[in-house]
Amino acid sequence: MKSNSISKANKIIREYLEEDLNSGHIKTSLLNNDGKLDDDMFWALFYEIGENIAWFLDDRYVALQKRLAVEKRNTDAEKSNPHYKVYWKSNRKFQFEYIEIDVCKSFADAVLIMQSKCTHNGSDQFKIVMIKNGKEVKTTIIN
């Protein structure tokens, strides 16, 4: 039974990889002419992903812990004087107006929030606005 469920899981993984590689978002020579992975290439990808996924997951766990700590520190940040509003826009998504994504008590935390939201696709733009005594005092734009 266990062998059968592993075979089913491997089939699902193989189908996902083939679909992803055929999607056109990346040019690849990993597929055969029929758009399928041969067995050697499938297992090479399978082990490559397996060896690297632990590093990726560890990175995501640490990033989430940091973001949650920043969010906890910045509870009721709008009541602080000064405080910092973090805005985001993406030209790739044809979203040309900034949207407020968070409010922080410090500029350093605003930068951390910005970094946690960045997709690193080259089209993200952020601005951090310092609010002091209810007025915008300083704006920092980050591309």
* Amino acid present at 34: D
Write out the chain's pLDDT in tens, 143 residues.
456 666 888 889 989 899 888 887 777 788 888 889 999 999 999 999 988 898 899 988 998 898 899 999 999 999 999 999 999 988 776 777 899 999 999 999 999 988 887 766 667 889 999 999 999 999 988 87
The phi and psi torsions of 28 (rounded to 5 degrees) equal: -145, 150
Pick from 140, 43, 41: nearest CA to 87: 140
| Beta carbons of 105 and 74 less than 8 angstroms apart | yes
106 and 56, same structural domain? no
124 and 95, same structural domain? yes
Task: Enter the pTM of the model.
Answer: 0.63
136 and 115, same structural domain? yes
| Total domain count, the chain | 2
Query: 136-141, long-range: CB within 8 Å, 24+ apart, which pairs?
Result: 137/82, 140/107
> How far is it, in rounded angstroms, from Cα 9 to Cα 3?
10
> How far is it, in rounded angstroms, from Cα 135 to Cα 129?
10
**In terms of residue numbers, what domain contains 89?**
76-142
8 and 57, same structural domain? yes
80 and 68, same structural domain? no
Q: What is the mean pLDDT of the chain?
A: 87
* C-alpha neighbours within 13 Å on the C-beta side of residue 12: 6
103 and 68, same structural domain? no
Two structure tokens written together for 130: 């310092």
66 and 87, same structural domain? no
63 and 8, same structural domain? yes
Q: Radius of gyration (Cα) for the chain, nearest Å?
A: 22
Q: State which of 72, 90, 109 marks the end of a domain.
A: 72
Q: State which of 27, 42, 72 marks the end of a domain.
A: 72
